[in-house]
Structure 1
Amino acid sequence: MDFELSQTQRPILDALDALLGRYAGVERCRKLASVEGYDHALERELRVSGFFDLFDEDSVGPLGATLAVERIGANLGTIAAAAHLLVLPALGIEPHEGPLALVQDGVERPVRFAAEATSILVAGPDRCTLSASTVSTDSAVPSAYGFSLGRLVPADKELELAPGTAATMLNWWRVGASAEAVGMMQQALDIAVQYAKDRQTFRRAIGSFQALQHRLAELTILVEGARWLTYEAAFHNAPAEASATAAAHTMAALGRLTRETHQIMGAIGLTREHDLHLYTLRLQALRTELGGLRGHRRALVTARWGVPA
């Protein structure tokens, strides 16, 4: 099933694709992994080109911004896309320059981009706090996930936001993480499908065998389900139940997709020379955020029945 872009969304996303073609992709991902953990050039180009303002544009809005986050994920953009394009504008916060780390209060685990973050947005029990961060290389955590990870550095200043902002932050964070994952899942699936067409055994492409076709068809359904649940949540401004549903399905699907695509392709998908692992390792980093799959399911139970899970 294809998603039909509006006449306003199409040229904007075409322009985004052109920009990502110059400032993102597998080769840039490999280069960044060897020299630094955050793509400041890509963030700068997206900001200057106005893509960080999509959320508030009447003609594009939250759904268009979510589509942009998906495209950035599909092109392995190494920036805090969900934070800049979805979370900050949803909270009414002016755009920030540089890496922004999203954190749940009381969670003691390495955080994406925390080692380079200039700002930290923390979701407390009811409201958010926005802090300036002192960047420290000592906080970096070794990672093979394609994203830099780090431990939080004590804040210099702290701005407390209005009551209820924590729920807004978490809901849009779930939508953003799901959108990033959908973009990467689709790319990983496309790689596996192409491999099944090209790889031959007994003089036949392995993709011609029905058992493999069924497995790829199931993966396609899982990815499409994640895509449409994410779009629905974004279209309705990220209500708690829809956001948690999208995240729970997406994080469950990416576990299955990672396992199946690597099994179909054999060990070649895990070699440094192959592109598949660039997507699947990043997916594992997304899978740990917000309490992981259990955290999303608990949030869904709470949103639907009003009781803590």
Structure 2
Amino acid sequence: MDFTLDSDQTALTDAIDRIAAQYDAKPTEFHGFALAGTALENELAEGEYFDIAQIPEYGPLTAALAVERLARTAYAAETALSMLLRAQLPGEWPRPLAVVENGRPGRFVATAKTLIVIDGSKISLAQPAAGDVEAVESLFAYPMGRLIGQPQLTALSDADAATVRTWLRVALAAEASGLIQAAIDSTVEHLSVRKQFGRPLGSFQALRHRMAECAVLAGGVRHLTRKAAASGDAGDAALAALHAQDTATRLVYEMHQMLGAMGMTLEHPLHLWTYRLKALLSELGGRGGQAQAVAEHCFA
């Protein structure tokens, strides 16, 4: 599949990159877990970037590229569902969006205007009132919340629910792809400047081999995600989400181990990406759920 961008797509991704670059660095005075990207979301909304998947010149592939890039910032912003899923919902539903899966707390639930409520095989949509949701303290580097009320649910048909599941997987994979790359970049920077035995850590062959394997895995996630976004195929989406969650499981361990003691501190920004990856690992049924979907859609 050819992923070469045309001039319009290139101009848009360049604009996204300029916006994202303002939010790449962690503020020096911040030592918490969730760095909320409210200002980033506001800037994207003002520029109408959340609607790019619906514009024929751009489409879902360009939206996936935007989600990847925005996920690499230090700030957690609700971009993936708004850019990739909202256009697939039946009717008009306001952003930001969040997923409530089988009653568990979820990312951005406390501030969402539209909830995708997953209950087993059923999917419904809801617009919660202020008292229907509450914020939840969490170690995950996302603003977390849970549903405590009973908003009116709009049940989706089986066909619409299948479409939503497909694009939930594409959105998960696109966000994970950006987080994985940011974690790798942060680790490479550390290995380049940190010295042991008078040499940068990155000069040791064992670490270089491990980083090379991580880069290969990240590339696989990136290409599977772009293929799924371009095709909109349920099997492609399941494969992308499965590889993203499987790769993230390994890379979170690798990145923190390579940073040593610094990887266990809030001073270093690595956790702003790896702890967000941790939150993604259990979504949509986790790796088991994605493997089941691959079996159903690719090997029926």
TM-score, length-scaled by structure 1: 0.87
Which residue in 2 is equivalent to 1:156?
Answer: 151
Residues 26 and 269 in structure 2, CA contact (< 8 A), matched pair in contact too: no
Aligned: 1:17 with 2:14: no
How far apart are 1:92 and its partner, in Å? 4.8
Q: Which residue of structure 2 aligns with residue 292 of structure 1?
A: 286
> Corresponding residue for 1:264?
258
Distance 1:74 1:189 in 2: 10
For each residue in 1:119-139, what CA deviation from the matched residue of structure 2 results, as whole angstroms up to 9, or x when unmatched?
A: 212346777432111234973
CA contact (8 A) 1:114 1:149 kept: yes
Instruction: Give per-residue Cα distances to partners, 1:112-164, cap 9 Å, x unaligned.
Output: 12222222123467774321112349732211211122221334333344441
What's the offset of the Cα at 1:282? 0.8
For the residue of structure 1 that corresponds to 2:127, the secondary structure is strand
Give the whole-Å Cα distance in 2 for the aligned partners of 1:30 and 1:156: 38
Asked whether the 8 Å contact 2:100–2:116 carries over to 1, the reply is yes
Match of 1:230 among 225, 228, 231: 225
CA contact (8 A) 2:35 2:74 kept: no
Q: What residue identity is the alignment partner of 1:213?
A: R
Q: Spell out, residue by residue over 1:225-279, the C-alpha distance to the aligned partner (whole angstroms, 9 max, x if none).
A: 0000101111102x11111111111111111111111111101022111111111
Identify the range of structure 1 (82-91 vs 196-205) with the bigger mean alpha-carbon deviation: 196-205
Q: How does 1:104-123 map to 2 (within 5 A)?
A: 104=101, 107-123=102-118
Counterpart for residue 70 of structure 2: 72
Select which of 177, 181, 193 maps to 1:198.
Answer: 193
Unaligned runs of 5+ in 2: none
- Change in Cα spacing, 1:61 to 1:77, as seen in structure 2 (3 Å) is farther
Opposite residue 89 of structure 2, the aligned amino acid is L
2-side partners of 1:129 and 1:199: how far apart?
50
Q: Secondary structure at the match of 2:152?
A: strand
Deviations 1:22-49 (A, max 9, x none): 4x33436986968x88544332321221
What residue in structure 1 maps to residue 275 of structure 2?
A: 281
Q: Is the 8 A contact 1:118 1:132 kept in 2?
A: yes
- Contact 1:76–1:184 under 8 Å retained in 2: no
Q: Which residue of 2 aligns with 1:41?
A: 39
TM-score by length of 2: 0.90
Q: Does the 8 Å CA contact 2:245/2:286 hold for their aligned counterparts?
A: yes
Match in the other structure for 2:87: 89
CA distance in 1, matches of 2:175, 2:186: 17
Deviations along 1:149-189, one digit per CA (max 9) or x if unpaired, are 22213343333444411111111111111111111111111
Residue 247 of structure 1 corresponds to 241
Taking structure 1 as reference, are residues 292 and 29 closer, same or farther at Cα in structure 2, changes over 3 Å only?
farther
Assess, with a 3 A threshold, how the Cα gap between structure 1 residues 108 and 131 changes in structure 2: closer, same or farther: closer
Residues paired across the two proteins, number: 298
CA contact (8 A) 1:115 1:136 kept: no
Aligned to 1:6: 6
The 1:165–1:242 alpha-carbon spacing in structure 2 relative to 1, beyond 3 Å, is same
Counterpart Cα distance in 2 of 1:231 and 1:33:
32
Unaligned 5+ segments in structure 1 are none
Amino acid at match of 2:12: I
Q: Which amino acid aligns with 1:103?
A: V
**CA offset digits 1:180-201 (Å, max 9, x no partner):** 1111111111121222222222
Q: Distance in 2 between matches of 1:17 and 1:206?
A: 30
Aligned mate of 2:99, from 102, 113, 122: 102
Q: Does the C-alpha gap of structure 1 residues 55 and 127 become closer, same or farther in structure 2, counting only changes over 3 Å?
A: farther
Tell me how far 1:12 sits from its aligned partner: 0.8
Percent of residue pairs identical: 37
Contact residue 134 and residue 153 of structure 1 kept, 8 A: no
Quick one: distance in 2 between partners of 1:83 and 1:50? Answer: 15
**Structure showing greater relative contact order (alpha-carbon pairs closer than 8 Å, 6 or more residues apart):** 2
Change (3 A) 1:207 1:43: closer
- Which residues of 2 match residues 159-198 of structure 1 at below 5 A? 159-198=154-193
Closer, same or farther: CA 138–245 of 1 in aligned 2, 3 Å: closer
Measure, in 2, the Cα distance between the counterparts of 1:33 and 1:21. 21
